[in-house]
Amino acid sequence: MVNLLPSTGTLLGVILLARHGDRLDFFQDPFTYDPSATELTPLGTAQEFQLGTFLRSTYLNPKNPSTFITNISTDLANIDQLIIRADAAGEGNIILESAMALLSGLFPATHNFNTTLANGTTVVGALGGYQYVPIESVEPNLDISLNSFTSCPNFDVHTLAFYNSSEFKAKAQEAAPFLNKLQPFAGNRSIDFTNMFNVFDFVNVQMIHNKTFFDSLPPTFAAQTQALGNFHEEGVFTDNEAGGIGNVAIRTILPSIFTSLTRIANESDPLKLALNQISYKPFISLFNVTQASANHPEIEGIVNYAAVVSLELHKSPAGSPTVFLKFKNGTTEDNFRPLPMFGSAGIPLNEFIERLAPVAINTTAEWCKACNQTTLRGCSA
């Protein structure tokens, strides 16, 4: 058993990928992944707040020296040390709202957020000193990076090829008897196997929010539905080759990861923490391109609400800064587990970039070409 925990060295900073919290019904076209809008629930805000609190106790707590980010401002947020971005595509406002809820746990209100006026009065900020850390709302028509799998014709070709594969057809056949039994619980959603994400999502949302449904669904059905949903999404959001279009969801995020890690490695640069609030799709592609899932089939599939991935940059006593990957699958799990990338516990930053740069999609023009998109999302320019 390899020890995956970095035993020495200081933590220079982290890149975080966080999924949004619990939401209401959601539907996406199984052939294009065109989404419908939905709403974040009170539970969703609680999950994100809990995730923010967890991240604060991990990375902003000097009492945990092995995971404390050196020189980060812990009480008063220093916005020069932070980059916060949220995918504003697909699911309506829920990802942006999730980032707000996460930040309220990461940087809670503090009376130290105050100011003493010329007349001698000290004023604490609104809501007991809540700090309004700015979030960049990443608009899909202006920036393809956080939601690059929609309006991408070659991605649709890839998805259809997966649906036509013998692997997919065999799984569909195996699943058919179960799906027939599930049909009365699938609302009006088609139980055609191509629609498996939407079937899973319907059941998942009902199981969380509808007591009648919860009381009537046979015991194993929810887990069976998730396993089939996992198979479906794993096939759609991975590819046989890291540089395949099936991995587009992470390939367009990689450039900002490289830039942020490089900035964090430069200790005269203030950046310490970059958060990308996203959907579940880039997680699947990330685990595929870094080969994290190669020996860990249990991390294949749809991550839970408020799941988080961290790329930690540690300064090793001798040698170059090293990247470590950690993952926590939502709020019900407290195991923030290290995962190997390319079969090793930690990868020197230069090697991490060298291995992944060839699959990165760096510009909108590169994305247009990779997708064969010629008109939408800035591709006509």
Ligand X SMILES: *[C@@H]1O[C@H](CO)[C@@H](O)[C@H](O)[C@H]1NC(C)=O
Residues interacting with ligand X, by CB under 6 A? Answer: 117, 119, 121, 206, 210, 212-213, 216, 226, 230, 234, 238, 240, 288, 291, 293-294, 298-299, 301, 303-304, 329
Nearer to ligand X by C-beta: 208 or 379?
208
Element (H, E) at 86: strand 82-87
Q: What count of residues does the chain have? A: 381
Q: How far is the CB of 81 from ligand X (least distance, A)?
A: 29
Q: How far is the CB of 63 from ligand X (least distance, A)?
A: 29
Q: Determine phi and psi for 185, rounding to 5 degrees.
A: -105, 5
Cα separation, 49 vs 144, whole angstroms: 27
Nearer to ligand X by C-beta: 31 or 214?
214
Task: Give, to the nearest 10 degrees, the angle between helix 221-236 and helix 166-182.
Answer: 150
Nearer to ligand X by C-beta: 1 or 117?
117
Residues 327-361 as b/e (b if ≥16 CB within 10 A, e otherwise) read bbbbbeeeebebbbbeeebbbebebbbebbeebbb
Q: How far is the CB of 159 from ligand X (least distance, A)?
A: 13
Nearer to ligand X by C-beta: 240 or 268?
240
Cα separation, 237 vs 301, whole angstroms: 9
Q: How far is CA 164 from CA 151, 227, 230, 240, 380, in A?
A: 21, 20, 18, 15, 31
Write the DSSP string, 352-381.
Answer: HHHHHGGG---SHHHHHHHHT--STTTT--
H-helix segments, 237-315: 248-251, 254-265, 281-289
Nearer to ligand X by C-beta: 145 or 225?
225
Nearer to ligand X by C-beta: 79 or 191?
191
Q: How far is the CB of 78 from ligand X (least distance, A)?
A: 26
Nearer to ligand X by C-beta: 109 or 299?
299
Cα separation, 76 vs 97, whole angstroms: 21
Strand, helix or coil for residue 93: coil
Q: How far is the CB of 232 from ligand X (least distance, A)?
A: 12
Q: Output Rg (C-alpha) for the chain, integer angstroms.
A: 21
Cα separation, 5 vs 33, whole angstroms: 37
Q: How far is the CB of 294 from ligand X (least distance, A)?
A: 4
Please return the burial class of 15, using the count of CB atoms within 10 Å of its CB with bins 0-12, 13-18 and 19+.
Answer: buried
What is the residue type of 13? G
Residue nearest to ligand X (CB): 238
Q: How far is the CB of 121 from ligand X (least distance, A)?
A: 4
Element (H, E) at 347: strand 346-348
Q: How far is the CB of 235 from ligand X (least distance, A)?
A: 6
Nearer to ligand X by C-beta: 22 or 143?
22
Nearer to ligand X by C-beta: 12 or 303?
303
Nearer to ligand X by C-beta: 140 or 338?
338
- Are 159 and 238 in contact by the 8 Å Cβ rule? The answer is no
Q: Determine phi and psi for 259, rounding to 5 degrees.
A: -60, -45
